[in-house]
Amino acid sequence: MKIGMISEHASPLAVLGEADAGGQNVHVAALAQRLAADGHTVDVYTRRDDPALPDRVPLTDGVDVVHVSAGPPERLPKDDLLRWMDQFGDELAARFTDPEVRPDVLHAHFWMSGLAALRATRRADDVGRPAVPVVQTFHALGSVKRRYQGAADTSPAARIGLERTLCADVDLVIATCQDEVRELRRMGAREDRVRVVPCGVDLGVFTPGTARTHQEDEDRPLRLLSLGRLVERKGVATVVEALARIGDQVPPVELLVAGGPPLGELDRDPEVGRLRARAEQLGVGDRVRFLGAVSHEDVPNLLRDVDIVACTPWYEPFGIVPLEAAACGLPVIASAVGGMLDTVVHERTGLLVPPRDPAAVADALLRLSDRRFRLRLGAGARVRAERRYGWVSVARETAEAYAEVVSSSSARRALPRWPATDAPLVSAGGTR
């Protein structure tokens, strides 16, 4: 199958940890590579953010990253990209006039990619050509972001309405968890056009380490890791406050915070400053260590050197870190939100806690100070990762979804409520 993917702001080539570079980049890269290993060919279309970038960059055998000109060729915050999605879609439409380039299916990652996908495939001048079905993965929904961030949400005002339109007009929505399915139903998505396929983890890279000799040293502090972008909603402050509640328990707990800017730039980062001040205020400043940005290649070794992983965001559409921790045989303390309700099984692979609840996190840490309990949960986490979240099975389920929409697309060829080529999808101000 010839597969096109659109990931307008999240290039598989991006350096993780930079602004707007995170789980979606990993997901798109890993899914594309696994699909190629299964015999498909994949072009991943992403926005050109540097004039020096080549038009086409091989990622692996069978996968190319294609840079599409849409807006100025410079780095822009993803929330500023909506005005350029018409141009993105029109450039794709021009490319797809070539039968050698035109994909069998187009998989849009993130809502703005979906707009570009429909612009590229639902055009008046497409009549008579084979249909290109569109599959949509949102990765995050505007309605959820608005609910939890309120006035701090920087998404374009039109986002929620446009996401509802996408639910109506794409051929299939691939949700990553059951919580997202419930949200999609509230948005009006038809049940027969939603399918759950989770995100995945590389089980050959993220593996349990050899027996940790430091686990035999009962006086050594437990190492608790928080890994991810350093923004307030990720809930690192909740973990810091939990440390203060534990007090002088035996063994003590050391919190490692990985993410944010490089180590040498931490002193200038406002979120690091806020967290450091909170730790000092609570008297645990000596037990919180900031590691700065960690490359994705170094994450497996970092995980294998800690005892517990904490993922305590206010909300999380899916969350890659709990999967990576599970694959490394580590128990996770996770907020009972979003995708973590699927990926973390309470008291079997980790412990679920209410978001923004330091007391609950402290109680979970005390329970996991029991080495046998901790190792039992970690072993269960690895087994579940192998059974459900390896990229082999995730890619197979995704390819099955593609095959279904390709086989049914000819029966649904009638043009939906989408503009002709000369009608703007969005104005410069961000509305249709």
Residue 414 makes CB contacts below 8 A (sequence gap 6+) with: none
Owner of token pair 């993105």: 88
- Token duo for residue 2: 């010839």
- Asked if residue 163 lies in contact with residue 284, where contact means CB atoms within 8 angstroms, the answer is no
Q: What whole-number distance in Å separates Cα of residue 9 and Cα of residue 118?
A: 17
How far lies 153's CA from each of 119, 141, 150, 160, 285, in Å?
A: 26, 12, 6, 12, 30
Q: What whole-number distance in Å separates Cα of residue 164 and Cα of residue 421?
A: 21
Q: What is the pTM of this model?
A: 0.86
- Token duo for residue 429: 């101000």
Write out the chain's pLDDT in tens, 432 residues.
Answer: 999 999 999 999 875 445 445 678 889 999 999 999 999 999 999 999 999 999 999 999 999 999 999 999 999 999 999 999 999 999 999 999 999 999 999 999 999 999 999 999 986 555 556 679 999 999 999 999 898 888 888 899 999 999 999 999 999 999 999 999 999 999 999 999 999 999 999 999 999 987 554 445 566 789 999 998 898 999 999 999 999 999 777 678 999 999 999 999 999 999 999 999 999 999 999 999 999 999 889 999 999 999 999 999 998 888 899 999 999 999 999 999 999 999 999 999 999 999 999 999 999 999 999 999 999 999 999 999 999 999 999 999 999 999 999 998 754 554 444 444 444 555 444 443
Q: What whole-number distance in Å separates Cα of residue 336 and Cα of residue 341?
A: 6
- Asked if residue 345 lies in contact with residue 384, where contact means CB atoms within 8 angstroms, the answer is yes
In one letter, which amino acid is 205? V
How far lies 377's CA from each of 246, 330, 354, 371, 397, in Å?
A: 21, 7, 19, 10, 27
**401, 396, 393: which is closest to 133 by C-alpha?**
401
Cα-only R_g, the chain:
22
Domains of the chain: 2-200+392-412 (3.40.50.2000), 213-388 (3.40.50.2000)
**Helical segments of 249-368, H only:** 270-281, 299-304, 321-327, 340-343, 358-368
